[in-house]
């Protein structure tokens, strides 16, 4: 006897289920489908290309009217079901139509979440779910103007892209600091932001919406918590979905986030099932189609008599449908216990790939710019195949990996044809490289210079090395190029600095992509260096990344062995006053600071301050007019002076005054390593200026400027840089040499080491050529406009307050 199967929802899941049931047992059920939308079933995921004008609605219809007729399926389109009566086994739809069922399937999807912002009900505030939404958006786009999309997930980005394609100025407002943060890491998220910008979609990250601004009942803008208002005539909310569970709840079915189902897709009522986004299976409510196909297959089997069929959950992958932007993500891209990353970047093609391996298996993948191998990786992931054998080549994709399988690396290289491409960036084939080696090259550098192979991204360097080994046998000597910054890159500091400036790289992800870093987010060695290079290259523009600073620079105090901190206020040129000394004494008393010590740098150190007390300690020091002494920084430290002509019977110039003037002009400047100055009033040199990074010896005729001294790990006397006859000229020369050092030295390199590397003559030439000196001085003075702010005062005012306060205090957690 034919049974009655009623399906609520004429969408992706509902119709797929009907198809699957009919394919298995065509005569078994009389099928009735209710759809809230007044139309046949269409491919919802293709609404994005429809919005973008790349497809028409006709192109995305899955089941046209003829399909329903041919298969004897009754469709009630435009009639939402309003109630289920499980006892009577009936459903009632809008308009009062009541239908009986033997089996009922809930496939009514989910609803887009509307943020409860003030003004959210204004005309022009829409969501992105069905064809009506697309039509509302295209109508708004036809009028032109600006659109704001709240939500930087898949849906929001596709909406913004579509609207930009239709000529609107589109802006995505995203609460998180990375687009699609649940699918992408920050490196891929950065590339996506850039790619969208090229397509006319602007992105605002870490931006929280506060209210919708309206005019005459229509949307006029979106106000953000930071005070900005983004004008717009269309506001799209794409912040997530909520499973449609209200009908089920009203009918007394068990409901969590969605309608709770077992592995047979059965709800708490044995005659009622649920599939698609409305269902919650093993605690998960899915929001993509792949799991829906699996669910429908299982349920169709169950409904046609196969009680053994079971759905066991799905591993997910995501692709973004924005033309020309290849993004793929699957599995646990963030890694976890015992995971390791394999990262590949190709700056030339804008490619970033990251594979996450766990115990020899692929656990996750994120790809940007080249996602052709996405499905292959996804299959490897789902099958749980052991990939340790292919680890070396895995990241290059299926073709290369399978081409070389089973061969050890050197025989694999030997087996390659002469026409096989080795260096993708420069298009160099194997034959060209072996020929060049045959002509007498013995090193990677040589091959690089002659053939260009391995000269760009460097990812083929191991292959080129193999070729050298194969061709030369014992004649091969391993490479000794400039030392790389760290294990995340093959590049040395010099190249990195140069390219940051030349290619105008203005953020850490930009540098890591352009220079093809081999880790997703660098390490404790390269990050502080890159942060400094960016601070130096783009003053006032680059946003300092405090998470890339060593703790001392992050909290503006020196960490001590017991985890407390020391605080050293500036004493300009070593001069202090009774008021300052009194304030220091009061602070020490008030905060029970155990040690107060006079430092070797002519100032006072308060040692043993608790981290939580730092802002309060600084507040008191600030109140007495004192600022941070940067005793913690790769920055200008102290300017040591002697009493000079003010008091000393031998003093030739005002060394104290010059020291104070230098410190007041130069403080706050970050540098590759710490920089200490000394100014002595005569050659007796009581300020020990000749063992400082930069020193001044005052003489009758003027000022002798010295560089390159040190008295720590190495003892080094200074060299004379230049002689000048006025205090002003001394300031110019000192700032010029300091700026040259700031722009040229490698991170961690003190002035004396930098001088050893580039030579005193080079430094002299820069400082003694008037144009170069002036240009250096001007760049320094410009940068200082952003640097001379007291970091303590900023923190007293509340900046990064979270850094100093614990996240929580808990009596309940017990360390083992």
Partner 1 sequence: MTIHVKEPAPLDSARWIDVGTVAEIPRRGARRVTTPFGDIAVFRTGDGAVYALRDRCPHKNGPLSQGIVHGRSVTCPLHAWTIDLASGEPTGADAGKGCTASFPVKIADGRVLIASTARAEGD
Ligand X SMILES: Cc1cc2nc3c(=O)[nH]c(=O)nc-3n(C[C@H](O)[C@H](O)[C@H](O)COP(=O)(O)OP(=O)(O)OC[C@H]3O[C@@H](n4cnc5c(N)ncnc54)[C@H](O)[C@@H]3O)c2cc1C
Q: Which residue ranges make up the site for ligand SRM (CB under 6 A)?
A: 558, 560, 566, 568, 597, 599-601, 603, 605, 631, 637-638, 674, 676, 710-714, 750
Rounded Cα gap, residues 610 and 577, in angstroms: 26
The DSSP output letter for 70 is H
**Residue 9 near which of ligand SRM, ligand X, partner 1, none (CB within 5-8 Å, type-dependent):** ligand X
The DSSP output letter for 2 is P
Q: In angstroms, what is the minimal distance from the CB of 674 to ligand SRM?
A: 6
**Residue 188 near which of partner 1, ligand X, ligand SRM, none (CB within 5-8 Å, type-dependent):** none
DSSP 3-state of 368:
strand
Q: In angstroms, what is the minimal distance from the CB of 594 to partner 1?
A: 18
Interface residues with partner 1 (CB under 8 A)?
154, 177-178, 181-183, 185-186, 284-288, 313, 315-316, 318, 329, 331-339, 341, 519-524, 527-528, 546-552, 554-555, 559, 561, 563, 802, 806-816
Tokens 């200026």 correspond to 689
Q: In angstroms, what is the minimal distance from the CB of 282 to partner 1?
A: 11
Among residues 6, 11, 203, 369, the one that binds ligand X under rule CB under 6 A: 11
Positive or negative CA dihedral for 106, 107, 108, 111?
Answer: positive
**Residue 727 near which of ligand X, partner 1, ligand SRM, none (CB within 5-8 Å, type-dependent):** none
Q: In angstroms, what is the minimal distance from the CB of 354 to partner 1?
A: 10
Rounded Cα gap, residues 309 and 728, in angstroms: 87
DSSP 3-state of 146:
strand
Buried/exposed code over 726-748 (b: 16+ C-beta within 10 A; e: otherwise): ebebbbbbbbbbbbbbbbbbbbe
Q: In angstroms, what is the minimal distance from the CB of 752 to ligand SRM?
A: 8
Q: In angstroms, what is the minimal distance from the CB of 133 to ligand X?
A: 8
Q: H-type helices in 258-371, by residue range?
A: 289-303
Please give the structure tokens belonging to residue 214. 């309206």
Q: In angstroms, what is the minimal distance from the CB of 151 to partner 1?
A: 13
The DSSP output letter for 547 is G
**Residue 676 near which of ligand SRM, partner 1, ligand X, none (CB within 5-8 Å, type-dependent):** ligand SRM
Rounded Cα gap, residues 259 and 574, in angstroms: 73
Q: In angstroms, what is the minimal distance from the CB of 277 to partner 1?
A: 11
**Closest chain position to ligand X (CB):** 11
Please give the structure tokens belonging to residue 514. 């352009």
Q: Kindly tell me which of 108 and 628 has the beta carbon lying closer to ligand X.
A: 108
Rounded Cα gap, residues 355 and 645, in angstroms: 67
Q: In angstroms, what is the minimal distance from the CB of 738 to partner 1?
A: 27
Please give the structure tokens belonging to residue 210. 């506060």
Rounded Cα gap, residues 570 and 618, in angstroms: 12
Q: Kindly tell me which of 281 and 676 has the beta carbon lying closer to ligand SRM.
A: 676
Q: Kindly tell me which of 10 and 426 has the beta carbon lying closer to ligand X.
A: 10
Surface-to-core class of residue 281, CB atoms within 10 Å of its CB (0-12 exposed, 13-18 middle, 19+ buried): buried
**Residue 109 near which of ligand SRM, partner 1, ligand X, none (CB within 5-8 Å, type-dependent):** ligand X
Please give the structure tokens belonging to residue 275. 């599939």
**Residue 332 near which of ligand X, ligand SRM, partner 1, none (CB within 5-8 Å, type-dependent):** partner 1
Q: H-type helices in 702-769, by residue range?
A: 727-744, 751-758, 760-768
Q: What is the 3-state secondary structure (H, E, C) of 189-217?
A: HHHHHHHHHHCCEEEECCCCEEEEEEECC
Q: Kindly tell me which of 83 and 623 has the beta carbon lying closer to ligand X.
A: 83
Q: Kindly tell me which of 10 and 653 has the beta carbon lying closer to ligand X.
A: 10
Rounded Cα gap, residues 248 and 364, in angstroms: 35
Q: Kindly tell me which of 144 and 712 has the beta carbon lying closer to ligand SRM.
A: 712
Mark residues 158-187: x for contact with ligand X by CB under 6 A, - for none: x-----------------------------
Q: Does 248 bind ligand X (CB under 6 A)?
A: no
Among residues 21, 31, 34, 753, the one that binds ligand X under rule CB under 6 A: 34
Q: Does 63 bind ligand X (CB under 6 A)?
A: no
**Residue 10 near which of ligand X, ligand SRM, partner 1, none (CB within 5-8 Å, type-dependent):** ligand X
Residues 765-784 that bind ligand X (CB under 6 A): none
Residues 90-109 that bind ligand X (CB under 6 A): 107-109
Q: Kindly tell me which of 49 and 189 has the beta carbon lying closer to ligand X.
A: 49
Mark residues 261-300: x for contact with ligand X by CB under 6 A, - for none: ---------------xx---------xxxx-x--------
Q: How far is CA 534 from CA 286, 351, 671, 753, 767, in A?
A: 42, 23, 11, 22, 24
Interacting residues of 191 by C-beta distance below 8 A, sequence separation 6+: 350, 352, 368, 369, 509, 513
Buried/exposed code over 105-119 (b: 16+ C-beta within 10 A; e: otherwise): bbbbbbbbeeeebeb
Q: What is the CA radius of gyration of the chain?
A: 34
Give the residues lining the site for ligand X (CB under 6 A): 8-14, 34-37, 44-45, 47-48, 80-81, 107-109, 128-129, 155, 158, 244, 247, 276-277, 287-290, 292, 321
């Amino acid at each position: 006897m034919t049974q009655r199967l009623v399906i609520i929802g004429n969408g992706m899941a509902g119709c797929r289920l009907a198809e699957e049931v009919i394919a298995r047992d065509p005569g078994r059920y009389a099928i009735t489908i209710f759809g809230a939308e007044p139309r046949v079933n269409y491919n919802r995921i293709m609404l994005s290309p429809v919005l973008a004008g790349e497809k028409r609605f006709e192109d995305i219809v899955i089941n046209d009217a003829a399909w329903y007729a041919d298969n004897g399926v009754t469709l009630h389109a435009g009639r939402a079901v309003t109630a289920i009566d499980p006892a009577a086994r009936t459903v009632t739809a809008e308009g009062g139509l009541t239908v009986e069922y033997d089996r009922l399937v809930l496939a009514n999807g989910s609803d887009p979440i509307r943020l409860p912002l003030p003004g959210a009900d204004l005309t022009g505030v829409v969501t992105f779910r069905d064809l009506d939404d697309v039509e509302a958006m295209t109508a708004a786009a036809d009028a032109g103007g600006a659109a704001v999309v709240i939500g930087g997930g898949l849906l929001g980005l596709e909406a913004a892209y579509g609207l930009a394609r239709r000529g609107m100025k589109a802006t995505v407002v995203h609460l998180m600091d990375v687009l699609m943060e649940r699918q992408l890491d920050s490196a891929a998220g950065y590339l996506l932001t850039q790619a969208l910008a090229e397509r006319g979609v602007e992105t605002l990250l870490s931006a929280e919406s506060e209210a919708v601004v309206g005019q005459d009942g229509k949307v006029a803008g979106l106000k953000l918590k930071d005070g900005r208002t983004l004008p717009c005539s269309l506001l799209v909310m794409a912040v997530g979905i909520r499973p449609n569970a209200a009908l089920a709840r009203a009918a007394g079915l068990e409901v969590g986030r969605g309608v709770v189902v077992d592995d047979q897709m059965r709800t708490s009522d044995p005659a009622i099932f649920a599939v698609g986004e409305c269902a919650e299976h093993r605690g998960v409510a899915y929001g993509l189609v792949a799991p829906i196909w699996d669910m429908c297959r299982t349920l169709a089997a169950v409904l046609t008599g196969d009680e053994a069929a079971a759905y066991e959950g799905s591993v997910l992958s995501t692709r973004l449908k924005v033309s020309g932007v290849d993004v793929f993500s699957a599995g646990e891209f963030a890694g976890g216990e015992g995971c390791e990353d394999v990262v590949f970047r190709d700056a030339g093609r804008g490619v970033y790939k990251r594979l996450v391996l766990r115990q020899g298996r692929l656990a996750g993948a994120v790809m940007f710019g080249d996602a052709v191998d996405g499905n292959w990786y996804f299959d490897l992931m789902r099958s749980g195949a052991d990939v340790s054998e292919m680890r070396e080549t895995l990241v290059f994709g299926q073709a290369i990996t399978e081409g070389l399988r089973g061969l050890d690396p050197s025989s694999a290289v030997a087996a390659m044809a002469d026409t096989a491409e080795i260096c993708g960036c420069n298009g160099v084939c194997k034959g060209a490289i072996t020929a060049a080696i045959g002509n007498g090259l013995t090193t990677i550098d040589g091959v690089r210079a002659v053939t260009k192979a391995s000269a760009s991204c460097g990812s083929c360097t191991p292959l080129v090395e193999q070729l050298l080994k194969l061709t030369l046998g014992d004649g091969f000597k391993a490479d000794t190029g400039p030392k790389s910054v760290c294990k995340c890159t093959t590049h040395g500091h010099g190249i990195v600095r140069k390219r940051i400036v030349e290619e105008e790289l203005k953020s850490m992800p930009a540098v890591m992509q352009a220079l093809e870093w081999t880790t997703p987010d660098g390490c404790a060695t390269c990050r502080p260096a890159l942060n400094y290079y960016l601070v130096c290259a783009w003053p006032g523009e680059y946003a300092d990344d405090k998470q890339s600073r060593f703790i001392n620079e992050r909290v503006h105090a020196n960490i001590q062995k017991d985890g407390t901190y020391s605080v050293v206020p500036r004493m300009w040129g070593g001069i202090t006053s009774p008021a300052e000394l009194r304030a220091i004494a009061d602070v020490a008393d008030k905060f029970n600071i155990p040690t107060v010590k006079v430092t070797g740098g002519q100032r006072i150190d308060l040692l043993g301050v608790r981290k939580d007390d730092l802002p309060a300690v600084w507040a008191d020091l600030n109140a007495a007019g004192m600022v941070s002494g940067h005793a913690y920084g790769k920055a200008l430290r102290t300017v040591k002076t002697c009493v000079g002509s003010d008091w000393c019977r031998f003093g030739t110039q005002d060394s104290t005054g010059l020291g104070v003037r230098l410190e007041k002009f130069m403080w706050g400047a970050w540098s590759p390593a710490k920089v200490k100055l000394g100014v002595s009033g005569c050659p007796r040199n009581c300020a020990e200026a000749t063992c400082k990074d930069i020193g001044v010896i005052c003489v009758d005729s003027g000022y002798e400027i010295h560089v390159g001294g040190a008295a720590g790990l190495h003892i080094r006397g200074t060299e004379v840089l230049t002689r000048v006859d006025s205090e002003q000229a001394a300031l110019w020369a000192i700032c010029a040499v300091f700026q040259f050092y700031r722009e040229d030295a490698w991170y961690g390199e003190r002035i004396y080491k930098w001088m050893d590397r580039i030579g005193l003559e080079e430094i002299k030439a820069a400082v003694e050529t008037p144009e170069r000196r002036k240009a250096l001085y001007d760049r320094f003075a410009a940068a200082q406009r952003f640097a001379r702010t007291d970091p303590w005062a900023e923190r007293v005012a509340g900046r990064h307050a979270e850094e100093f306060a614990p996240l929580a205090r808990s009596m309940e957690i017990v360390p083992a």
